[in-house]
Amino acid sequence: MHAAMIIRAPAKINLGLTVHQRRPDGFHEISTVMQQLSLSDTILLEPRREQGYSFFCSDPVLSGNDNLVCRAAALLSKKAGPLLPGVKISLYKGIPVAAGLGGGSSDAAAVLKGLNDFWRLGLSTAVLMDLGSQIGSDIPYCLQGGTALARGRGEKITPLPGLPFYWVVLALPPGLSISTGQVYSALDPAQYRHPPLAPLLRALRERQDALLFDWFSRGMTNTLEKAILPLYPRLEGFKSRFSSLGLFPAMSGSGPAFFALTGNLPAARGAVRALQETGNRAFLCWTVSPEQQTKE
């Protein structure tokens, strides 16, 4: 009998994101540095008598077979062949949905990794990454974890020296739903290639906190933020409010979540409270490395 497993699927933030150009296949060529956070979804894998998998999600809106968790389980079982032990997959959402925090990709990566162990398939991380990239561009990064540079559509991963521990104030305005596709189509080619990631990469490689804070103090770390802010004045107001708390907020992915790093816990707590009091969703979390992720 296989033992039950609990797996954490962490949220990611984009410390920087540059869109280079639109490719002939319709995707955009990007470079982005991603970092995992303590905020996570939780996935439970339990044995069940019947073969195949069943799926439960704490969010009824995400309970269908199009959930990336089901797509990952289906892809892996197709690769592994018949006669796999039955498994009940339960997903408990903790990461805000469609916020630029990569929750769906992280869930899919966690299920690929978890079922590889649960079914004792012994597939390498490289094989899982290849499978994952067929479902979503961020899934290879989620399998790699930690701090990493992603290029191409986001599927070509280069690990970077791990970011030191920081508190992270993470927040998003309520009721603002923005699709990733909508953001990319709002991009003006004149915005391509800005900002270049070189100063961020230098800060990480040289492990210099001062350079890292220089990067965030520029106020624009993500090409998509440039495209989206003029379209959503409410988001611009939210960013100004966040900046007025003495932090340097940056947009994650295609938004609308913003984050700010700080070494100062009381300041982080105060900012979370202030953002919540003005009606926003706000979380106090911290940076994590793959070694810190628990698996039971």
Q: Between 143 and 245, name the residue whose CB sits nearer to ligand ATP.
A: 143
Which of these, 233, 223, 235, lies nearest to 188 by C-alpha position? 223
The pair of structure tokens assigned to 87 is 């498994």
**CB of 213: closest distance to ligand ATP in angstroms?**
25
Indicate whether 176 belongs to the interface with ligand ATP (CB under 6 A): no
The answer to whether 115 touches 96, Cβ cutoff 8 Å, is no
Q: Between 102 and 114, name the residue whose CB sits nearer to ligand ATP.
A: 102
Which residue in 101, 143, 150, 169 binds ligand ATP (CB under 6 A)?
A: 101
Q: Between 222 and 254, name the residue whose CB sits nearer to ligand ATP.
A: 254
**CB of 15: closest distance to ligand ATP in angstroms?**
15
Question: How far apart are alpha carbons 120 and 35 in whole angstroms?
Answer: 29
CB-closest chain residue to ligand ATP = 104
Question: How far apart are alpha carbons 10 and 218 in whole angstroms?
Answer: 27
Which of these, 157, 189, 155, lies nearest to 19 by C-alpha position? 189
Rg (alpha carbons) of the chain, rounded to whole number: 19
Out of 41, 93, 107, 138, pick the active-site residue. Answer: 138
Indicate whether 132 belongs to the interface with ligand ATP (CB under 6 A): no
Active-site residue 209, yes or no?
Answer: no
Which residue in 10, 103, 132, 145 binds ligand ATP (CB under 6 A)?
A: 103
Do you find a cis peptide bond into 256, omega within 30 degrees of 0? Answer: yes
Which residue in 74, 98, 211, 267 binds ligand ATP (CB under 6 A)?
A: 98
Indicate whether 97 belongs to the interface with ligand ATP (CB under 6 A): yes
Which residue in 16, 36, 40, 100 binds ligand ATP (CB under 6 A)?
A: 100
Question: How far apart are alpha carbons 230 and 257 in whole angstroms?
Answer: 16
Active-site residue 239, yes or no?
Answer: no
Near ligand ATP in 245-274, by CB under 6 A: 253-254
Q: 292 vs 34, 105, 229, 259, CA distance in Å?
A: 16, 19, 35, 21
Q: Between 180 and 292, name the residue whose CB sits nearer to ligand ATP.
A: 180
Q: Between 156 and 202, name the residue whose CB sits nearer to ligand ATP.
A: 156
Burial 230-252 (b: 16+ CB within 10 A, else e): eebeebeebbebbeebebbbbbb
Indicate whether 133 belongs to the interface with ligand ATP (CB under 6 A): no
Question: How far apart are alpha carbons 91 and 104 in whole angstroms?
Answer: 11
The answer to whether 125 touches 86, Cβ cutoff 8 Å, is no
Near ligand ATP in 29-68, by CB under 6 A: 62, 67-68
The pair of structure tokens assigned to 133 is 């990239």
Number of Cβ atoms within 10 Å of the Cβ of 134: 11
**CB of 105: closest distance to ligand ATP in angstroms?**
6
Interface positions with ligand ATP (CB under 6 A): 62, 67-69, 97-105, 107, 138, 180, 253-254
Active site residues: 12, 138
